[in-house]
Each structure stands twice: as C-alpha cells, then as structure tokens.
Amino acid sequence: MPTAKPTSPIIAATKRSRGAPKGIRITDVAASAGVSPITVSRVFNAPQTVAPDTLLRVRQAVQELGYVPNRLAGGLSSAKSRLIAAIVPTVAHSLFSETVQVFSDTMSRAGYQVLLGLSGYSDKNEDELLDAVLSRRPEGVLLTGVAHTATLRERLLKIGIPIVETWDMTGQPIDMLVGFSHDRIGAAVAERFVARGRRHPALVSANDDRALARRRGFIETLAAHGIGKVPEVLMPPPSSVALGRESLQRILTQSADVDSIFCGSDLLALGVVSQAQKMGVAVPERIAVCGFGDLEFAADTTPALTTVRVDGRRIGETAARCLIERLGGAPGTPMIDVGFELVERATL
C-alpha cells in the first residue's frame, strides 16, 4: 500500500474541530506566512503599515487556514473595535451611494470596517440606528446632515469619539464637518434665473432639512430682487420622476406665468422636463429647469439638464481622512467646505 502523506499539525488542528476551524490561532497564521504574530495583527488592524508582499502572504495564509480573528476579544482587551458607524438616508440615490462607497473603501485601507445604517430621512430612525450601533462600540461615526434631535446632539457631544457630519454646513458642528451650503446653492440658482431674465420662478422639492435649506436660499434671494410669492410644490422624500411630472401640472395650475423651475433633485427635474414635452411646453424657451445632483443621466437627457453638481466622492474620501487623522491622534480639521458647481446645459 502507498504510504499516507503526512498531515501538517496546522491542518490537523483544523480537521479535529467540527464546523469552523476553531483550532487555528494567530500564531499558526504567523508560522504559515513566515512572519511574527504582531505582523499578522497589523494586517488586520493597520494594513497600511505592512509591506505589500508581506500583506499578500499573510492574507493567503489566512484564507488557506480559514482563520477568523476574534475581534470581540481584541476589542475587550484593547478598547478598539476597528468599527466605524455610518448613517445615511439612502443608498438608492447615487450621490449618497458614491459617498458611502468611497468612504468605506478609504476606511478599509486604513484597517477599519464600516457598519452602514439607513435612516430613511427620519430623525427617529437616526436615533434608533445610533442606539444600535453605539452599543457595538464604534471608534468613529459618520452622519449625514447637521439637523439632529436635541437629545441626540447632546449625546453625541458627550460620547467622546470622533464624529464627522457630512452633506451640509453649519457654524456649530458636533465635531468635524465635510459639506457645503444648501442655502448658497438655492441662492446661486435664484441669481442665475434672475440674470437670465426669469421673473416668475417656481420650486418643486422634497421637504427634508437639506432641501428646505436650498428652498430658503432660493426664496430669500428672489425676494431681494423684488420677486415675491413663489409657487411651489413640496413633498416628503424620496423624490421620483413621477412626482416631477405631477408637480409641473400643479405648478401651472397655481400660476400659468411660471417661466422657470428649480427642482430639489435631478429626478424631479427629469419628470418636469418630460411632462413639459408631453404638454407641448418648450424647455427652456417657455420654462427653464434646473435640478440638483448632476446624476449620470443629467448630461444625456434631451434637452441636457442644467443642474447643481456636488462632489460626493470628495465628501466620502475627505470625511474618511478626517476620521483616520483623528483616530491616529492628530487634532483633525473641524470644518471643510467642498463647495458646488452650477452646471449650465440646455434647460436654462
């Protein structure tokens, strides 16, 4: 009979345990990869400090052996969870999904994992989500917007971990802030409408806090130019093309003189433009339209959509860098305004 091939002690330890390979330890991974146990630990906790070839060798050993680090035990002994909580309204909107993806990728490269929660534009949901994730002892938190309940804000001020708010601007951030001014966006659109001789503007928008800030800047700027009552349709988020179509009919019922519409999202703007075409209302000759977000389809519609562009990738990467710097002991940057751009195309 042929001689049986010897089984390595590490593989034997795996075979002796039923189910998951519970017998594999960090020292086994270190021996297989030819490195020290502390190097294996760095691969999990600070991969950016490990040489690329060593990183690959250790990860191959981890995969071959089926090693699963006990992060709970590590967290209890070192008070470090390597976990970052991120609360966003939705990932159905490409603006938020892009920010979350870049944020998560950047944190991952620094050895952190992102726990994502979707608040659905609800203060109550945000409170409940944070209760759930804070019990897991995250080392940092990313929030969307700066409008929080008074109770939550007070709690976050006292919690003692780095917090970065995004997608908004305020003079009193909880900790760090990476965003832009929605008020200034509304004002910029109003100024562009007035400069183009549009004296009868209207507004179609969701009624969440950030959209209402854009509304405020829009209406206040128009008032400064002597334009009074502005016909408007406000609705609960999320926005949709269908709601944009319906809104145009409601706007024209309120005022047949409307010559321009600022939409709180590109989806609403697309709905307004498509309904205008269906009704035989010329865009932009009869009614100019401006959206918000510069989504992928905005440049490819007919006519191409004028909109406001915000760099979601930059927000995600910058927010991650702020947290990483703070977690590394640096003071961090309290406030970063990434700005915006009004992209003028064929609907204005």
Q: What is the pLDDT, as a whole number, of residue 130? A: 79
Predicted confidence band of residue 210 (pLDDT cuts 50, 70, 90) = very high
Q: Does residue 32 form part of some domain?
A: yes
| Residue 263 tokens, joined | 């939409």
Q: Residue 198, Cβ neighbours under 10 Å: how many?
A: 21
Count the domains in the chain: 3
The answer on 293 and 244 residing in a single domain is yes
Predicted confidence band of residue 132 (pLDDT cuts 50, 70, 90) = confident
Distance (Å, rounded) from C-alpha 264 to C-alpha 224?
Answer: 21
Task: Please report, for residues 147, 233, 298, 314, the alpha-carbon distance to residue 265 in angstroms, rounded to integers and kept in the order given.
Answer: 19, 13, 11, 20
pLDDT in tens, 31-52: 999 999 999 988 887 888 899 9
Whether residue 13 is predicted with pLDDT greater than 50 in this model: the reply is no
Q: Does residue 73 form part of some domain?
A: no
Domain range for 232: 182-309
The answer on 118 and 60 residing in a single domain is no
Q: Does residue 133 form part of some domain?
A: yes
Q: Does residue 344 form part of some domain?
A: no
Distance (Å, rounded) from C-alpha 144 to C-alpha 6?
Answer: 57
pLDDT in tens, 216-242: 999 999 999 999 999 999 999 989 999
Q: Does residue 107 form part of some domain?
A: yes
Element holding 204 (H helix, E strand): strand 201-206
The answer on 290 and 235 residing in a single domain is yes
Residues 6+ apart with CB under 8 A from 24: 10, 13, 14, 65, 66, 67, 68
The answer on 273 and 200 residing in a single domain is yes
What mean pLDDT comes out for the span 206-220?
96
Q: Average pLDDT, whole number, for the chain?
A: 88
The answer on 282 and 318 residing in a single domain is no
Distance (Å, rounded) from C-alpha 344 to C-alpha 223?
Answer: 23
The answer on 317 and 175 residing in a single domain is yes
CATH number at residue 258: 3.40.50.2300
Q: What is the pLDDT, as a whole number, of residue 252? A: 96
The answer on 171 and 125 residing in a single domain is yes
Q: Residue 49, Cβ neighbours under 10 Å: how many?
A: 12
Q: What is the pLDDT, as a whole number, of residue 90? A: 85
Q: Which of 294, 244, 249 is nearest to 269 (CA)?
A: 244
Task: Compute the radius of gyration of the chain from its Cα atoms.
Answer: 26
| Residue 15 tokens, joined | 């075979």
The answer on 293 and 193 residing in a single domain is yes
The answer on 228 and 167 residing in a single domain is no
Residue 191 C-beta-side C-alpha neighbours within 13 Å? 9
Distance (Å, rounded) from C-alpha 348 to C-alpha 337?
Answer: 27
Token pair 């908004």: residue = 168
Nearest-5° Cα angle at 17, 14 to 22:
70
The answer on 140 and 88 residing in a single domain is yes
Q: Does residue 45 form part of some domain?
A: yes
Strands 307-309 and 341-343: antiparallel
Q: Is pTM beyond 0.95 here?
A: no
Distance (Å, rounded) from C-alpha 231 to C-alpha 200?
Answer: 9
The answer on 85 and 175 residing in a single domain is yes
The answer on 256 and 244 residing in a single domain is yes
Asked whether 289 and 260 are in contact (CB, 8 A), the reply is: yes
The whole-angstrom distance between residue 339's C-alpha and the CA centroid of its chain comes to 16
Coil/strand/helix, residue 170? coil
| Residue 299 tokens, joined | 């440049």
